[in-house]
């Protein structure tokens, strides 16, 4: 879809964004006093072109100057408001949520339709500088620019001596790409791929409160020590799919099996490996996620990887492969996923990993918007020991009208603004894979009890678990490992007392809800097979502004 159409679909007056401390909202005439005080300081004159006759000095008529400067500010606001009407720019006031004070402005303007790019600009009252407010706002605007407007490039033109502004763009990895002829202004550029790879927007960062427990350092499943996650993504026209691998340990998993359990919420699915997990209570391979018709190839590749990498002589093994059907966006019958992409995902596995429309999540839908890979974690104490529980989801479920975020029925509000594509039935189908990891010492029976509570995280976002949507939970604990070399006839392991399990129940519900929401917020809009399109939740997140 062309940039011009996207601008009209996202009118400047209604684009309101929030972070923990600030709100970005359209300027209004009542902002004239605050804007006048901010824009006519000596420091501001150093870096911003003004139309008033001169900088402050001792010779001018101070009263006349102030009157002219105030009138200029009123004219400036009128110009901005008129620009809103013709979709010329986005110009936000930076407002403190706590006091509603206007402390700065942030804009996205100078749209270039041919090159699919725009320019970003910002200013902040001196009294509020060096507190990270501009960084918070810039991140929200960049998310909007790249995920909703689908811009290829965002540029910033900055005065060479304005180190504070330079630090902001450098923080977000803008590259220096040019110097204007007067040698006083520098051009910085950021491309879409670079930003989406490094700075996905997530629920907690946007000020959306989910639960009461503390999050881990990364707020991902990899906060459980030893876990890594990798992706292989296929994205080209009608092919929108991939593979995601969860590696629970650096050790040989066949030789050092982990306590595991599964829970099938709704069994409309083709996950492999669950029978043995439920019977023996152990996990002996990485967990792979992919699309429905790629399960066979991914399983074969996982078996080959384990045979090649394990020190044990493997004659039988239980590879675990979960799936969701991504055929709304992906030409699933093309069977694009190949064995080498499984190995690629394993090779790329890391503690910090991308979310959204990546790996197995590339072609997935969630509440009829864009879904995919999402993760979250929770930390809690039992006695004097701290434990971590992490969740990773492959979200591909739910109806738009049912979506609830931060206690707001945002789905029905979005549904009122748009209509789903005519060839799509309002039926909840597609599935959700939920991977639960923890370092809490539990038995496989206790772990299964924890897994059963994950469904509450889906329900809190509005899902009712439809007939055609296969929801499957797979859990494992890194606390107790069953070593193949240990030939003792009696094994001894430590497990929590049953009376202490409630905190883990709470943790899995909170982490599941946030992981699903992160999968939607981190995903950009994707167009795939037959012109089908799933919009990012970022396109409508302004409807949550309170």
Q: What is the pLDDT of residues 50-99, one digit of tens each?
A: 444 444 455 556 677 678 888 888 999 999 998 888 878 999 999 998 89
Residue given tokens 């889906």 in the structure block: 458
Per-residue confidence at 153, pLDDT binned at 50, 70, 90? Answer: very high
Coil vs helix vs strand at 271? coil
**pLDDT for 421 beyond 80:** no
User: Who wins on pLDDT, 507 or 70?
Assistant: 507
Active-site annotation holds for 471: yes
Residue 62, pLDDT score: 66
Cα 465 from Cα 473, distance rounded (Å): 13
Residue 45, pLDDT score: 47
Residue 50, pLDDT score: 47
User: Who wins on pLDDT, 11 or 182?
Assistant: 11
Among 103-117, 153-167, 318-332, the range of highest mean pLDDT: 318-332
* DSSP one-letter code for 95: E
Residue 126, pLDDT score: 87
Residue 42, pLDDT score: 45
**pLDDT for 502 beyond 50:** yes
Coil vs helix vs strand at 230? strand
Coil vs helix vs strand at 102? strand
Per-residue confidence at 334, pLDDT binned at 50, 70, 90? Answer: very high
Average pLDDT over residues 489-516: 96
Residue 496, pLDDT score: 97
**pLDDT for 281 beyond 70:** yes
Helix pair 339-347, 295-309: axis angle to 10 deg: 60
Residues 17, 24: contact at Cβ < 8 Å?
Answer: yes
> 88-102, 199-213, 369-383: which range is least confident on average?
199-213
Residue 67, pLDDT score: 81
pLDDT digits (tens, 9 = 90+) for 10-46: 888 888 888 778 999 999 999 999 888 887 764 554 5
Query: Catalytic one among 469, 519, 536, 539?
Result: 469
User: Who wins on pLDDT, 118 or 13?
Assistant: 118
Coil vs helix vs strand at 37? helix
Cα 450 from Cα 433, distance rounded (Å): 15
The fraction of the chain above a pLDDT of 90, given in percent, is 69
Residue 54, pLDDT score: 44
Cα maximum dimension of the chain: 96
Residue 483: name the closest of 256, 254, 259, 253 by CA. Answer: 256
178 C-beta neighbours (distance < 10 Å), count: 11
pLDDT digits (tens, 9 = 90+) for 282-323: 999 999 999 999 999 999 999 999 999 999 999 999 999 999
Query: Catalytic one among 377, 431, 443, 519?
Result: 431
* DSSP one-letter code for 397: -
User: Who wins on pLDDT, 415 or 19?
Assistant: 415
Give the helix, strand, coil percentages of the chain, each rounded to 5: 35, 30, 35
Residue 177: name the closest of 199, 206, 157, 198 by CA. Answer: 157
Residue 63, pLDDT score: 73
Query: Catalytic one among 284, 471, 510, 514?
Result: 471
Residue 197, pLDDT score: 72
Residue 48, pLDDT score: 52
Cα 390 from Cα 413, distance rounded (Å): 31
**pLDDT for 49 beyond 70:** no
Coil vs helix vs strand at 215? coil
Active-site annotation holds for 431: yes
Residues 333, 291: contact at Cβ < 8 Å?
Answer: no
Give me the chain's average pLDDT, please: 90
Residue 213, pLDDT score: 98
Per-residue confidence at 325, pLDDT binned at 50, 70, 90? Answer: very high
Residue 41, pLDDT score: 60
pLDDT digits (tens, 9 = 90+) for 424-455: 667 777 799 999 999 999 999 999 999 999 99
CA 436-440-445 angle, to 5 degrees, is 70
Instruction: Tally the residues of the chain.
Output: 546
**pLDDT for 1 beyond 70:** no
Cα 520 from Cα 516, distance rounded (Å): 7
Residue 55, pLDDT score: 47
Per-residue confidence at 328, pLDDT binned at 50, 70, 90? Answer: very high
């Amino acid at each position: 879809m062309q940039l011009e159409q996207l601008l009209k679909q996202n009118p400047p007056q209604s684009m309101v964004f929030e972070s923990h401390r600030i709100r970005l909202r359209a300027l209004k005439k009542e902002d004239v006093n605050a804007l006048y005080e901010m824009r006519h300081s000596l420091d501001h004159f150093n870096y911003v072109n003004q139309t008033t006759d001169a900088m402050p000095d001792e010779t001018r008529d101070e009263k006349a100057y102030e009157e002219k400067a105030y009138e200029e500010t009123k004219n400036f606001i009128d110009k901005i408001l008129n620009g809103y009407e013709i979709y010329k720019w986005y110009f936000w006031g930076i407002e403190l949520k706590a006091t509603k004070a206007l402390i700065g402005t942030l804009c996205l303007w100078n749209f270039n339709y041919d090159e699919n790019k725009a320019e970003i600009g910002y200013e902040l009252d001196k009294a509020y500088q060096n507190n990270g407010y501009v960084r918070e706002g810039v991140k929200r605007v960049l998310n909007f620019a790249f995920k909703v407007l689908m811009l290829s490039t965002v540029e910033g033109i900055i005065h060479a001596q304005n180190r504070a502004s330079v630090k902001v763009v450098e923080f977000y990895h803008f590259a220096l790409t040019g110097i204007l002829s007067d040698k006083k202004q520098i051009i910085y550029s950021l491309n879409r791929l670079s930003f989406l790879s490094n700075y996905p927007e997530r629920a907690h960062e946007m000020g959306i409160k989910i639960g009461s427990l503390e999050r881990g350092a990364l707020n991902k499943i990899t906060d459980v020590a030893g876990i890594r996650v990798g992706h292989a993504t296929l994205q080209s026209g009608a092919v929108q799919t991939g593979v995601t691998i969860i590696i629970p340990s650096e050790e040989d998993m066949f030789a050092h099996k982990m306590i595991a359990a599964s829970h099938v919420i709704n069994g409309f699915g083709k996950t492999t490996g669950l029978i043995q997990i439920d019977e023996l209570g152990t996990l002996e391979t990485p967990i792979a996620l992919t699309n429905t018709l790629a399960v066979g190839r991914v399983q074969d590749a996982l078996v080959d990887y384990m045979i090649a990498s394990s020190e044990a002589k493997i004659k039988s093994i239980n590879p675990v492969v979960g799936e969701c059907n991504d055929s709304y966006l992906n030409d699933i019958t093309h069977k694009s996923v190949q064995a080498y992409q499984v190995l690629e995902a394993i090779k790329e596995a890391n503690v910090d990993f991308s979310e959204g429309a990546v790996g197995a999540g590339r072609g997935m839908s969630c509440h009829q918007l864009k879904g995919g890979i999402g993760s979250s974690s929770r930390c809690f104490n039992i006695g004097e020991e701290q434990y971590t529980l992490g969740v990773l989801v492959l979200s591909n479920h739910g109806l738009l009208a049912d979506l609830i975020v931060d206690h707001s029925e945002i789905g029905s509000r979005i549904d009122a603004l748009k209509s789903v594509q005519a060839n799509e039935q309002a039926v909840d189908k597609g599935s959700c894979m939920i991977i639960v990891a923890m370092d809490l010492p539990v038995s496989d029976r206790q772990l299964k009890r924890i897994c059963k509570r994950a469904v509450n995280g889906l329900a809190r976002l509005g899902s009712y678990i439809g007939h055609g949507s296969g929801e499957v939970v797979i859990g494992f604990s890194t606390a107790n490992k069953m070593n193949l070399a240990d030939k003792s006839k009696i094994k001894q392991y430590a497990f929590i007392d049953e009376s202490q399990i409630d905190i883990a129940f709470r943790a899995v519900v909170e982490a599941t809800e946030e992981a699903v929401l992160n999968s939607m917020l981190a995903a950009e809009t994707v167009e795939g097979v037959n012109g089908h399109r799933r919009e990012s939740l970022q396109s409508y997140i302004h409807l949550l502004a309170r």
